[in-house]
A and B are shown apart, each in its own frame.
Chain A
Amino acid sequence: MQRRSLLTASLLLPLGARVVSAAPAAEPVTTALVEAAKKEGKVTYYTAMDLSVAEPMAKAFEARYPGIKVAVERSGAERVFNRIGQEMASKIHRVDVVNSSDAAHFISWKREGWLAPYLSDEMARDLPAEMVDPDGLFCNQRTHLSTIAYNTKLIAPADAPKGFADLLDPKYAGKMVKGHPGYSGTIMTATQQISRELGWPYFEKLAKQKVLQVQSATEPPKRLEAGERAVAVDGSDYLFWLAKERGAPVELVFAVEGTPQISNPMGIFKSSPNPSAARLMVSWIMSGEGQSFIVNLSGQYPANKQVKVKPGRPALAQIKTFKEDPVAVEKQADQIKAQYAKYFKV
């Protein structure tokens, strides 16, 4: 229910917040753009999306516009952020399109002036206003959740946790896996929300439960499916769903306290070496076609209002979610990492 969060975040930017927004004029996807993109022949896409979604999406784009190769550069959102920082500092310009599961990163990049505005006419038409940066520097590509989940072979539904508080029960000690906010934007965003809602002492107690500490929010679903741990404290909901739909003994839990919600903004770098291909890719991903592809493949929540939620998945409105607050995440990120490392030792 917190769809307005991104817009709010942008408006609350310390600088330029009250300046009349300079939204770029919407551009049609012209043959000239496609030709220019093909001439560039490639586009580099930095993302935190799981490879099982990102690579097929890239291949679908390549199939739609033959002659353009997509290089998918996937890592945890926090790693991507760090890498881009290092590359920019060393004047290495490789990233064309960037997509992060930590919306706070876009606040930082916008402030640095690294992003290029872009809005296709389809985006202007089909994206709700709260999904787009007022200056047109980025838009929300999709939204997903970080949910609790459990392995039904290892835990009977009756014994399953109902929410975060249950996870502190000694019976789950040594049986949980969770991602790391220093690596994953999903976990970073979720950690900010949980610490706000439940307080840091919650994590202090959770850290004593002998949690298997993995890095990416995409790994707990894989560990759960393999049966390595019975309960996932967090992780990308769409991967739990996909495993469940594949017949794996995985069940999602929407915590009674609320479920962290994560928007995944996407933008184009000013220094992009392939600006036309970058624009073409963004326009395609945000188009009905691109959004449908993501939804059909993974069941994440689309930003494009023409595209419906995947059948069988609950609508966002039905889920009690925490409020997303990228501005707070941006301010607190270093402190969150330090606090987390203090409790979890890594």
Chain B
Amino acid sequence: MTLRAFDVSRPVLALVVALLAVMIVLPMGWLLIYAFASKDGQPTLDNFVTLFTDPSFVDPLLATLLLSVSVSGLCCLIAAPMGWLVARTDMPLARTVRTLVMASLVTPPFVGAVAWEMLAAPNSGLLNQLWRLVTGAPADEALFDIYTMEGLIFAIACYTFPYVFILVANALDRMPGELEDASSMLGAGLWATARRITIPLALPTLLAGALVAFLQALNQFGSPAILAIPAGFHTLTTKIWSLFQFPPKPELAAATSLPLLLLTVALLRTQASILGRRGYAVLGAKYGAPRLIRLGAWRWPAVALAMVVLAMPLFLPYAALINTAFSRVSSQILSPETFTLHNVVFTFWQLSSTMPALKNTFLLATATATLGGVLALLIAYIVARQAMVGHRLLAFLATSPLAIPGIVLGVGLFLAYTRPPLTLYGTLWILLIAFITVEMPAAYQQLGSAFHSVHPELEEAGRMLGASRLRTLMDITAPLLRSAAIATWCFVFVGVIRELSAAVILFTSETKVLSVLIFDLKESGDVGAIAVLSLTMVVLTTVVIIIANRIGGPREARVPTRVGA
């Protein structure tokens, strides 16, 4: 008989809380202190006075609001019909369209922005060149100008609408066909049904999606840095970042971070309250499979429309990247005569940052996905099984980074860890902390919902039969969570590779990651190397995802989805 010799729950809880404090509480605390301090450390409100009166701060604030509202609206306009086509109609290739939209999320938005420069810079942009070629327009006329607010809105929307699309499509998937059938039975036509039933039912989800898009645009750093600065304006994120350039003004950066932080928190609360309302509950209920609407003659035009939409985040940018990767000048069209391996050779044989950056990136992505995954798993377990006092606090801490924009987190971590007792700046640890923090909410939520699908009695049954808590976790919980854990791992992995906004504040020369290297190359205009690196990054990421799914794949087939009651 083994007595409970040592209660591990207290130290574990203490450890997890300490970790989360190191990750979140300390940086945010310093952020607050700095925001309310003058350069020599005296308490003051001057930073906020500057923030709300100096036009060089007010303008970015207004630009950011305009940008976010527009991106949000544009995303809904694209995502809602796309989601409807994919989920509710008999459009051919619906599965492919879905997969491709998901795949477009692997592209870091800042890479997309660079690619769109290649496509839609007013003079050298490939699309503009094509337009002039076709219409014979004069050399200084352009169809598109990516270096404008409109261009920036478009470029960000390209990589934000997938989030809205996924939300809408999933909601429409779950929407009971009976509800629409009932309307049709009462004599309503296709359009009337859509207008009176489908759209109102999907509206809460769309609204939630609009908020997600708003937040993405609000907190995006890479795309504005690449497109807004050449156009001669700042957004809040680029402004915060510019305050870190010499002479650094961390107090002002901290003060500028606060509105971003507060706005994000407020929007998240709004979103939670929208999703918590009746609309979503109806969508979540189990009914029959949805009835697909027949498009008839419109089937292929619908596919064409979907492909045109997919061209924006996917086909066109990758075509431009490939074109640039193998050309001497990005404005040239690739042909046998212009084909060159110059950029490939330069990137892999001359550029001395390539290998360290690749190594750092994949090391950090793997470490973040693994350690962050384990931490999220631990927290999800404690919370789902209410395994110890304080689990509510843990759940709150684990989700709170959602409200912290990457650049704000970067500023906070910088302020917190460039000083004793934990001088982590300059090490990979600070980046690891940043990445784990950024990815924690998503990882925790995914694993948390996975835990909810594993009935606690499954674990208790193991313990009754003599297996320890740990053994039970290994023999029973772990195999059941396998697919969710692998999905989370991949999700975090991709997330780290895409992360720029925190990294750009926290990196040092020795801890440069791929996203920062690409950003550095962008600033010196070396687009050839960017194209090669971006394509390499996407290929490697895809390979890692495939391998991860291979490892976890085969067993899944035989695990039934539901058992017992």
Contacts and interface: CB of A to CB of B under 8 A. Distances in A.
B509 A46 contact: yes
B418 interface: yes
Interface stretch (A23-31, A117-125, A196-204, A222-230): A222-230
B423 A91 contact: yes
A214 B121 CA distance: 13
Contacts of A56: 350
Contact of A89 (B246, B418, B523, B529): B418
Interface in A264-278: none
Interface stretch (B64-72, B187-195, B230-238, B311-319): B230-238
Nearest to B239: A346
Interface stretch (B26-34, B271-279, B351-359, B533-541): B351-359
B123 interface: yes
Interface string B522-549: 0111110100000000000000000000
Given A89-B418, A213-B230, A94 B510 contact: yes
Given A82-B248, A92-B426, A74 B56 contact: no
A78 B245 contact: yes
Contacts of A95: 509
Interface residues of A, number: 62
Interface string A71-87: 11111101101110111
Given A74-B520, A345-B234, A214 B245 contact: no
A211 B229 CA distance: 11
A227 B426 contact: no
Contacts of A87: 426, 508-509
A212 interface: yes
Given A51-B351, A56-B350, A90-B426, A223 B233 contact: no
B352 A58 contact: yes
Contacts of A182: 242, 245-246
B334 interface: no
Contacts of B457: none
A82 B246 contact: yes
A72 B354 CA distance: 10
Contacts of B526: 51, 222
Contacts of A218: 524-525
B400 to A, nearest CB: 27
A75 B331 CA distance: 24
A169 interface: no
Contacts of A342: 56
A98 to B, nearest CB: 11
Nearest to B238: A346
Interface string A184-228: 000000000000000000000000001111111011001101111
Contacts of A227: 123-124, 331
A92 B425 contact: yes
B147 interface: yes
A79 B245 contact: yes
A167 B230 CA distance: 18
A228 B123 CA distance: 5
Nearest to A239: B525
Contacts, number: 143
Contact of B524 (A44, A74, A89): A74
Contacts of A174: 140
B78 to A, nearest CB: 28
A55 interface: yes
Contacts of B510: 92, 94
Contacts of B353: 71-74
A240 interface: no
A175 B509 contact: no
Contacts of A74: 353, 520, 524
Nearest to A91: B423
B523 A215 contact: yes
B509 A216 contact: no
Nearest to A183: B523
Interface string B98-130: 000000000000000000000001111000000
Interface in B466-525: 508-510, 520-521, 523-525
A333 B529 CA distance: 31
Nearest to B356: A71
Given A175-B140, A345-B234, A44 B509 contact: yes
Nearest to A85: B246
B52 interface: no
B247 interface: yes
Given A89-B418, A94-B510, A345-B234, 19 more contacts: A51-B524, A51-B526, A55-B350, A56-B350, A69-B352, A71-B356, A82-B246, A82-B248, A86-B508, A87-B508, A90-B418, A154-B139, A154-B140, A174-B140, A214-B523, A215-B523, A218-B524, A225-B329, A346-B233
> Which 10 residue pairs spanning A and B have beta carbons closest together?
A219-B525, A92-B426, A228-B124, A82-B246, A55-B350, A222-B525, A226-B331, A215-B523, A216-B524, A226-B124
Interface of A: 44, 46, 50-52, 55-56, 58-59, 69-76, 78-79, 81-83, 85-87, 89-92, 94-95, 154, 174-175, 182-183, 210-216, 218-219, 222-223, 225-230, 246, 248, 333-334, 341-342, 344-346
5 contacts: A56-B350, A218-B524, A219-B524, A225-B329, A228-B122
